[in-house]
Amino acid sequence: MAEQPTTEEHPIETKEEDLPRNLRELVNKALGAVEMKNYKYTISLMQNVLREAPGYVDGRKMLRSSEVALVGGKKKKSLFGGGGLGTMKLASVAKKDPLGALDAIEKELEKDPYNSGANELLFETALKLNFLETAAFALETIRSGAPENTKLLHKLAEFYLSRELPERAAGVYRDICKQDVTDTAAVKGEKDATARASMQKQRNAKGEYVLGKKDEAETLAVEKAARAALTKDQLEEKAAALVEVYEQDPNNVAVVKDLAATYEKMEDWRNAHTFYDWAHQISSGDVALKSKAAFMKDKAADHQLKGLEASVEENPDDQDARQKLDEVRAARIAEQVDERRRRVEQNPTDPQLRFDLGQALYHAGDFSGAIPHLQQATRNPHIRTKVLLLLGRTFDAKGMHDLAVKQLSDANTELMAMDATKKEILYELGIIHDKQGKKDAALDAFKQIYEVDYGYRDVAARVEGSYRKRIFFR
């Protein structure tokens, strides 16, 4: 039986403490190499880290500073060249596979870290992945190393404004004016952004709203609503106060976002989805809000499913509840398949989207339909191992145990560290070998997990049980 659908985890931006131990060790080596001014080694190490953790922003900054130190500043020409993929070709790769393209973009930046074209492409690619800090860093690199490129500085200022960071935007506009005193758009932009920053500072130290000359009672209500670390009752008060402000101006992005975030804290996933979705629509297409809305939609569906599952568990004889659970589960799976199929139709060459669709089809029990999409998804090195894991499970579900073993063995070979994914792969291998009657191969897979994680699933019982059987039959 296929596993129940889960919300797919996409790559996110991370800090060093969130990295797995093997990557943190590489980062420490890179820091040591920086101290020794061995920049080539630093670059090599950090490129390896970023292939595994593309959202590690501080690592990308360390990589760039090492490249600048090695190259020695900006080159005369800020174009792709010297055997690179070329602007058009690299942009095409990024459009089809944004996550996979990051490594190719970094290869270009290794030769010329202030390359305007490559940094702009890094910015656009990072936006597609919702790597917002990475996107800002890409254009900040131009700001520091090629400030005469005022076109990209304008793009950076607009990005900061879209993120409600007017003070940063004002600083960028000031730098543009230093480069071109005749840039009237920058002059006006700096004034407007400074005004917005000033209004933003009218909130008190706790981030409370100051609504100008509006009714004092309303102001106090919203101020009270804005306090952090609120109880459930206080959150409900906050939501009620924000709803009143929202009704006066439904297009106030800040209020809509705050209302959405409040519902999220209340775990009212449906309302959170509604307001995050509306915030996205009125925010000039903020990709972070779009992603948040989709996540809330999934949380709402998960919450409904868990509620129905709990009801059935408490009342196993309640046929109406069981029927409702089956209907909601089937509708959820069908919705995921339709939504992900639409995404693939819009961008058929994106391996991540292929994986998402293959995963949805697997959960729907359409194993034959899932296979071609998963096979195409193996082209993305960043998700290859988890694709092979699901592909192995899909072949296993079709009774093709030899093909399942091949996929899982390939995935196991490509993983060196005994992390959660490798344990899962080895466990699946053990189960399938056991189905095939290959007891020794199954035991070998379980032993590899047992040696490092005694408490993983039922491997202890399986491994220790095999020894008891040997003793018994002596």
Non-local (6+) Cβ contacts of 120 within 8 A are 138, 139, 142, 152, 155
With pLDDT > 70 as the criterion, what percentage of the chain qualifies?
86
- Per DSSP, the three-state class of 14 is strand
Supply the range of the domain harboring residue 117. Answer: 16-200
Q: Is pLDDT above 70 for 194?
A: yes
- Name the average pLDDT for the chain: 83
Predicted local confidence at residue 206, as pLDDT? 40
In a domain, residue 47? The reply is yes
In a domain, residue 45? The reply is yes
Closest CA to 6 of 376, 375, 391, 329: 329
- Per DSSP, the three-state class of 56 is strand
Tell me the per-residue pLDDT of 304-362, one tens digit each, with 9 for 90 and over: 888 888 888 888 888 888 888 888 888 888 888 998 898 889 888 888 889 999 999 99
Q: What is the separation of C-alpha 39 from the centre of its chain, rounded to a whole number of angstroms?
A: 29
Closest CA to 93 of 104, 80, 78: 104
Least confident among 88-97, 170-179, 254-263, 274-283: 88-97
Long-range contacts of 217-222 (CB under 8 A, 24+ apart): 218/244, 218/245
How many Cα atoms occupy the beta-carbon half-sphere of 297 within 13 Å?
Answer: 15
Q: Are 412 and 422 in contact (CB under 8 A)?
A: yes
What average pLDDT score do residues 131-135 get? Answer: 91
Angle between helices 459-472 and 439-450 (to 10 degrees): 130
Predicted local confidence at residue 374, as pLDDT? 96
In a domain, residue 416? The reply is no
User: Number of structural domains, the chain?
Assistant: 1
Domain CATH for 64: 1.25.40.10
Angle between helices 367-377 and 384-397 (to 10 degrees): 160
Sign of the alpha-carbon dihedral angle for 293, 365, 422, 427: positive
The token duo for 260 is 């959405």
In a domain, residue 59? The reply is yes
Predicted local confidence at residue 401, as pLDDT? 94
Write the burial class of residue 297 (CB in 10 Å: 0-12 exposed, 13-18 middle, 19+ buried).
Answer: buried
Closest CA to 202 of 214, 185, 190, 188: 214
In a domain, residue 243? The reply is no
What is the C-alpha to C-alpha distance for residues 305 and 49, in angstroms, rounded to an integer? 38
In a domain, residue 75? The reply is yes
Predicted local confidence at residue 195, as pLDDT? 83
Query: pTM of the prediction?
Result: 0.50
What average pLDDT score do residues 10-31 get? Answer: 83
Angle between helices 98-111 and 87-96 (to 10 degrees): 150
- List alpha helices for 15-97, DSSP H: 21-35, 39-52, 57-71, 87-96
Residue 367's alpha-carbon distances to 240, 327, 364, 390, 455, in angstroms, are 47, 21, 8, 10, 31
- The pLDDT-based confidence of 291 (bands split at 50, 70, 90) is confident
Backbone φ and ψ for 14, nearest 5 degrees, come out as -130, 165
Q: Is pLDDT above 70 for 210?
A: no
Which residues in 90-121 are b (16+ Cβ under 10 Å) and which e?
bbebbebbbbbbbebbbebbbbbbbbbbbbbb
Tell me the per-residue pLDDT of 44-95, one tens digit each, with 9 for 90 and over: 999 999 998 899 999 999 999 899 888 865 554 443 333 344 656 777 777 7
In a domain, residue 94? The reply is yes
In a domain, residue 93? The reply is yes
Tell me the per-residue pLDDT of 150-163, one tens digit each, with 9 for 90 and over: 999 999 999 998 88
What average pLDDT score do residues 426-437 get? Answer: 94
